């Protein structure tokens, strides 16, 4: 049984929910997610999602700062999650959206990463989600797969009710305590004073071409016909090369005889020829060897790649070779601007999602008494190498320092991005102190030389 195909029915049964999403919409969400997970063939959605995810999170960082225990707790969770940033970002691009769901086991906070197809929205206020049911986690115990379902309901008074249930692969409800991984998961908890849902929902920034939709859409949404053309072209190329396999005809008497039977070579390159296989001219075969039409096929494939990039909304460089327009920041930005616009939108979605996740962790930490409360701040650092020239940026920063618009520590931070401003200032002070001491020693040596010279005269 495919439990995900019955997610809509199971949620109604185990939680008594009334989904705001039709069963057909739920099935379509799972289909889009399955297309991204597909391992057979050339998965162009996965290619786009992986490439854009790399550009989005390359050389990036996210951290939670604050001189207190609560900030350290949240930072530890985010640090662990950020190691999977490529996976969750690619999933958001490829499936249309991803959920980051925190939960408490014992005295620790963990985060599940699940595609939006695992979420059924039950109630919304405008654009704000107020009730959902989610397939939060799966595990295998013995020879059976089990599913953990989480139901969130936030009423207008700020009361959040979270319910957890477990089912087997037949949809039957089983106790959470019967699954070792979920034995410490609370079955139901109510939390007051909650302002928003206690999970993060990060959507792909692609337009769904509808007035309103509760869910996001994958990066290649609406591009099926073009993808089918590309798949057909690649199949034609594969067939063309396969038909060009060489064959060498050999008289059957040249093959070895073992146990009364002729042993044929296992390579498939050689073929035995009998006298009846000769043509009227007494030759083995007429050679039929048309040239491989690789140039025409690959020209068409390149054109289809370009058309798909335009349809998705990216610049060249995802499926095609990037075009180098020059070395200046302006030219680099112009060449990559379409892709950068999508990347920047996803980064904003990640910022909002991680901040929402931090809020959810903070609320859960209060509810489960995981240490004292404390203030915290979420900080992000993104790379802009795809739209700027590092040499030009450095020269601009250096010029700013020379006219007093930037300090030396800021120049050092560009050269050593792992240092924060205080570390850079401290290191600059050390360098300047060492330089001053060296200059002082050099001046003293020069004075001594001049004194000895004066004594000689």
Cα atoms found within 13 Å of the Cα of residue 416, Cβ hemisphere only: 12
In terms of Cα–Cα distance, which of 200, 188, 176 is closest to 113?
A: 200
Question: What letters, b where the CB count within 10 A reaches 16 and e where it falls short, cover 336-374?
Answer: bebbbebbbebbebbeebbebbbbbbbbbbebbebeeeb
d(CA 197, CA 185): 19
User: Does 166 score more than 60 pLDDT?
Assistant: yes
Lowest-confidence pick of 71-85, 125-139, 309-323, 398-412: 398-412
Mean pLDDT, residues 367-392: 84
Mean pLDDT, residues 164-173: 89
70, 371 Cβ separation under 8 angstroms: yes
Lowest-confidence pick of 130-139, 273-282, 333-342, 446-455: 273-282
In this prediction, residue 266 carries a pLDDT of 52
d(CA 239, CA 241): 5
In this prediction, residue 26 carries a pLDDT of 86
* Other Cβ atoms closer than 10 A to 121: 21
User: Does 201 score more than 90 pLDDT?
Assistant: yes
Note the Cα 319 to chain centre separation in Å: 17
271, 247 Cβ separation under 8 angstroms: yes
At 259-298, the pLDDT tens digits run 666 565 555 666 666 655 554 455 555 666 667 777 888 8
Strands 108-115 and 97-105: antiparallel
User: What's the pTM?
Assistant: 0.78
At 324-346, the pLDDT tens digits run 555 566 666 777 889 999 999 99
Q: How confident is the model at residue 152 (pLDDT cuts 50, 70, 90)?
A: very high
Mapping DSSP onto H, E and C, the string for the chain reads CCHHHHHHHHHHHHHCCCCCCCHHHHHHHHHHHHHHHCCCCCCHHHHHHHHHHHHHHCCCEEEEECCCHHHHHHHHHHHHHHCCHHHHHHHHHHHCEEEEEEEEECCEEEEEEEEHHHEEEEEEECCEEEEEEEEEEEEEECCEEEEEEEEEEECCCCCEEEEEEEEECCCCEECHHHCHHHCCCCCEEEECCCCCCCCEEEECCCCCCCCCCCCCCCCCCCCHHHHHHHHHHHHHHHHHHHHCCCCEEEEHHHCEEECCEEECCCCCCEEEECHHHCCCCCCCCCCCCCCCCHHHHHHHHHHHHHHHHHHHCCCCCCCCCCCCCCCCHHHHHHHHHHHHHHHHHHHHHHHHHHHHHHHHHHHHHHHCCCCCCCCCEEEEECCCCCCCCHHHHHHHHHHHHHCCCCCHHHHHHHHCCCCCHHHHHHHHHHHHHHHHHHHHHHHHHHHHHHHHHHHHC
231, 308 Cβ separation under 8 angstroms: no
Torsion, Cα of 207, 208, 212, 214 (10° steps): -110
Q: What is the mean pLDDT of the chain?
A: 85
User: Does 452 score more than 80 pLDDT?
Assistant: yes
In this prediction, residue 399 carries a pLDDT of 86
At 383-408, the pLDDT tens digits run 877 766 666 677 778 888 888 888 88
Of residues 348 and 21, more confidently modeled:
348
What is the percentage of the chain residues whose pLDDT exceeds 90?
47
d(CA 413, CA 26): 48
Q: How confident is the model at residue 69 (pLDDT cuts 50, 70, 90)?
A: very high
| Phi, psi of 305, deg, nearest 5 | -60, -45
Question: What letters, b where the CB count within 10 A reaches 16 and e where it falls short, cover 390-399?
Answer: eeeeeeebee
């Amino acid at each position: 049984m495919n439990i995900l195909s019955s997610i809509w029915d199971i949620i109604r049964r185990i939680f008594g929910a009334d989904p705001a999403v039709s069963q057909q919409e739920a099935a379509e969400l799972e289909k889009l997610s399955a297309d991204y997970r597909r391992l057979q063939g050339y998965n162009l959605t996965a290619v786009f999602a992986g490439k854009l995810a790399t550009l989005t999170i390359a050389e990036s960082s996210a951290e939670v700062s604050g001189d207190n225990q609560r900030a350290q707790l949240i930072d530890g969770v985010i640090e662990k999650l950020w190691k999977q940033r490529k996976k969750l970002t690619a999933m958001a691009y490829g499936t249309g959206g991803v959920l980051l769901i925190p939960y408490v086991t014992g005295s620790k906070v963990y985060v599940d990463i699940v595609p939006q197809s695992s979420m059924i929205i039950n109630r919304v206020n405008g654009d704000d989600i107020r009730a959902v049911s989610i397939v939060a986690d799966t595990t295998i115990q013995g020879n059976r797969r089990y599913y953990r379902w989480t139901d969130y309901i936030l009423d207008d008074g700020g009361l959040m009710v979270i319910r957890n249930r477990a089912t087997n692969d037949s949809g039957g409800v089983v106790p959470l305590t019967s699954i070792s991984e979920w034995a410490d998961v609370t079955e139901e908890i109510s939390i007051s004073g909650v302002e928003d849902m206690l999970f993060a929902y990060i959507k792909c920034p692609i337009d769904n071409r509808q007035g309103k939709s509760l869910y996001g859409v994958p990066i290649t949404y609406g591009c099926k016909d073009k993808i089918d053309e590309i798949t057909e072209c690649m199949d034609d190329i594969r067939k063309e090369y396969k038909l060009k396999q060489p064959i060498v005809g050999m008289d059957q008497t040249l093959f070895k005889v073992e146990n009364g039977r002729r042993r044929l070579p296992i390579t498939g390159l050689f073929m035995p020829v009998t006298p009846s296989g000769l043509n009227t001219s007494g030759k083995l075969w007429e050679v039929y060897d048309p040239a491989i039409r690789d140039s025409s096929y690959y020209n068409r494939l390149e054109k289809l790649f370009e058309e798909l990039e335009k349809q998705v909304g990216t610049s060249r460089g995802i499926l095609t070779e990037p075009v180098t327009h020059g070395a200046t920041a302006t030219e680099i930005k112009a060449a990559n601007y379409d892709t950068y616009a999508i990347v920047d939108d996803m980064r904003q979605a990640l910022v909002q999602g991680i901040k929402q996740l931090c809020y959810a962790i903070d609320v859960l930490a209060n509810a489960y008494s995981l240490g004292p409360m404390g203030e915290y701040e979420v900080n992000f650092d993104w790379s802009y190498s795809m739209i700027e020239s590092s040499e030009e940026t450095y020269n601009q920063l250096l010029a700013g320092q020379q006219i007093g618009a930037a300090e030396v520590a800021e120049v050092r931070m560009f050269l050593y991005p792992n240092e924060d401003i205080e570390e850079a200032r401290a290191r600059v002070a050390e360098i300047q102190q060492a330089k001053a001491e060296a200059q002082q020693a050099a001046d003293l040596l020069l004075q001594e030389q001049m004194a000895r010279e004066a004594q000689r005269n």
